[in-house]
Amino acid sequence: MVKIYAKSVILLVLSLFSGIVFSQCEDITLESLTNPGIYQVGTLTQEDGLRDGPAYFSATVYYPTNATPPYASIAIVPGFNSFPESVEAWGPFYASHGIVTIIIGTNSIFDFPEARALGLLDALETLRQENTRTSSPLQGAIDETKFAVSGHSMGGGGAQRAAVLDPTIKGVVALCPWLPNPDLDHDSAVVIFSGQNDAVAPPGIHANIHYDITPNSTNKLLFEIENGNHSVANTPQGGNSSVGKIALSWFKLYVDQNDCYCSLLTDYVQDNPLASNIESSFECELLATQENGIETLLYPNPTAGIINISRQENVLYKVFSTQGQLVLSGELRGGKKQIDLSSLAANFYYVRINSEMFKILKTK
């Protein structure tokens, strides 16, 4: 009787815990990636006391006025011969989803990518100072460990270079980037948008090269919009709003570190009919434990079907529902060990590998 009671308590705790986690992810859907988002937006300029950085010309900060800090942030710079207005739509979009956004101009509209990279780094310094400015509505509200950079054309190339120059940058959103002979050895998770018919920065000699040059150890995604031109990613509405949905999901996953966006991003990108080319090399949460000094890894999590198990020896597995019902079981032999959860409904499950237990989110 004692054993039965103990088992019931454990299953109840697991069920309640998974219900809490599932409810946290439940509201994160494609429909939640709206433009605008749920938060109201305020702005700051030099007239409001915002710092005027020496490596850029003018800036506007967009911020959520009714979200809960601390906030992650992104700095954005336009492309060659362009002004901030060309990428202005990104400011209220990000801010309405709880992200502080600074959009800068350049000291010269003819600045090349390296100068734009320095401008982005200077913009991040402005946010740091805004975090301590006593009269700022953002005083103490910015998480300085969660910075990202973005830009269009030469600004996109500059964003990639900024990540090389500052390894603390968590993410890059490159919008039809232009950068010849790139040196992009950095660890910042990067999403690259390109247009299939871009005559200014043809993907074959810019975006595709940027993706290939970025280390495989870096989480990266290339999304080429079918029939898109050089301006297809200037706004979140680009590519029938696919640009905004992917950029926001990428930011939330890798900069804001919200794993709930992993399955959403993966499912949306996979075989997306709006894309003429998709390349990806990224992983989300990796589960790991040790049994008798031997580490076991399960990935990806969440998953739409297949989970991989990194164990050399043969293993026994069992998959349980959150109510404790056994739904799958078996033995895995050989080098490549996988469990196929595609037949199961979307929900949390508990996977037992020998005596180790893992919690997995199965998506649709």
Instruction: For the chain, 364 residues long, give each residue's pLDDT as a single digit of tens.
Output: 333 333 333 333 333 333 434 445 667 888 999 999 999 999 999 999 999 999 999 999 999 999 999 999 999 999 999 999 999 999 999 999 999 999 999 999 999 999 999 999 999 999 999 999 999 999 999 999 999 999 999 999 999 999 999 999 999 999 999 999 999 999 999 999 999 999 999 999 999 999 999 998 899 999 999 999 999 999 999 999 999 999 999 999 999 988 778 878 887 887 789 999 999 887 665 555 555 556 667 888 778 889 888 887 888 999 998 778 899 999 998 878 899 999 999 888 888 888 788 888 787 6
Given this chain, do its domains 31-281 and 285-362 carry the same CATH topology? no
Q: In the chain, what is the greatest distance between 2 CA atoms, to the nearest angstrom? A: 78
Interatomic CA distance for residues 232 and 106, integer angstroms: 21
Interatomic CA distance for residues 334 and 29, integer angstroms: 38
Q: 183 exposed, middle or buried (CB, 10 Å; 0-12, 13-18, 19+)?
A: exposed
> DSSP string covering 159-197, please?
HHHHHHH-TT--EEEEES---SS------SEEEEEEETT
Which CATH number, 3.90.1180.10, 3.40.50.410, 3.40.50.1820, 3.80.10.10, labels domain 31-281? 3.40.50.1820
Domain-by-domain residue ranges, the chain? 31-281, 285-362
Q: How far is CA 91 from the centre of its chain?
A: 17
Strand order in the sheet with 275-281: 41-44, 57-64, 100-105, 71-77, 142-152, 171-175, 189-195, 220-225, 275-281
- Owner of token pair 């037949």: 343
Q: Whole-prediction pTM value? A: 0.77
- Residue 281 near residue 259, CB atoms below 8 Å: no
Strand order in the sheet with 356-362: 326-332, 315-320, 347-353, 356-362
Strand order in the sheet with 285-291: 285-291, 294-301, 306-309, 337-340
Task: Tell me the CATH class for 285-362.
Answer: mainly beta
